[in-house]
Amino acid sequence: MAISKTSQHLDRLGMTASTLCAIHCALVPIFLTTLPLLGLEFLSNEWVEISMIIVSVFLGTLSLSMSYRKQHHKLLPFFVLFSGFTLIAFGHFSGIEKLEPILIPLGGFTVAAAHLVNWRLNRTCNHPHKDL
C-alpha cells in the first residue's frame, strides 16, 4: 500500500502544480504591466513557464506510471495527461497569439484532471496488483 499513498501524494501535488500553472498562465497576461510594480516580473519570464511545465511533466509521468504499474492498469490518465501537454505545447509554440491565453490554461487544467482521474482510479482499486 505504500505505493498507493506515494502515488496519491504525487497526484495531489500534481493537481496543485497544474492548477497553479493554469492560473499563472491565465492571469499573467492580464497583470503583465503591474508585475514589475509588485516585484514579480520573474513570473512573466519564459523560463518560469518552462520550468513549471517540466515539473508538471515529471510529476505527471511519475505518478501515473506508479499507479499504472502497481494499482489500476488503466491508460485513461495518460491520454488525459498527454492531451493536456499537447494543448500547452500547441498554445506555446504555434505562434498564434490569440490561442495562447486559451489553450495553455486549458492544458493546465487538463493535466490537473489527469491527476484527478488517476487519484480516483487508485481509490477504486483497493488492493495493489501483484507484479506479473
- The answer to whether residues 28 and 52 touch, using CB atoms and an 8 Å cutoff, is no
In a domain, 65, yes or no: yes
State the residue for C-alpha cell 487544467: 109
Q: Which pLDDT score is estimated for 123? A: 81
In a domain, 130, yes or no: no
Could you read off the pLDDT of 11-40 as tens digits, one per residue?
777 777 777 777 766 666 666 666 666 666
Could you read off the pLDDT of 73-121 as tens digits, one per residue?
899 999 999 999 999 999 888 888 888 888 988 998 898 899 889 888 8
Q: Is the pTM of the predicted complex or chain greater than 0.85?
A: no
Could you read off the pLDDT of 46-81 as tens digits, one per residue?
787 788 788 888 888 988 898 888 888 899 999 999
Q: What dihedral angle (degrees, nearest 10) is formed by the CA atoms of 104, 105, 109, 111?
A: 20
In a domain, 87, yes or no: yes
Overall domain count for the chain? 1
In a domain, 30, yes or no: yes
User: Does the pLDDT value for residue 42 go beyond 50?
Assistant: yes
In a domain, 102, yes or no: yes
* Domain limits for position 105: 2-124
Q: Which pLDDT score is estimated for 80? A: 96
In a domain, 49, yes or no: yes
User: Does the pLDDT value for residue 132 go beyond 50?
Assistant: no
Q: Which pLDDT score is estimated for 97? A: 85
In a domain, 20, yes or no: yes
Among the listed residues 59, 55, 48, the one whose alpha carbon sits nearest the alpha carbon of residue 10:
59
Instruction: Return d(Cα 41, Cα 77) in angstroms, integer.
Output: 34
In a domain, 46, yes or no: yes
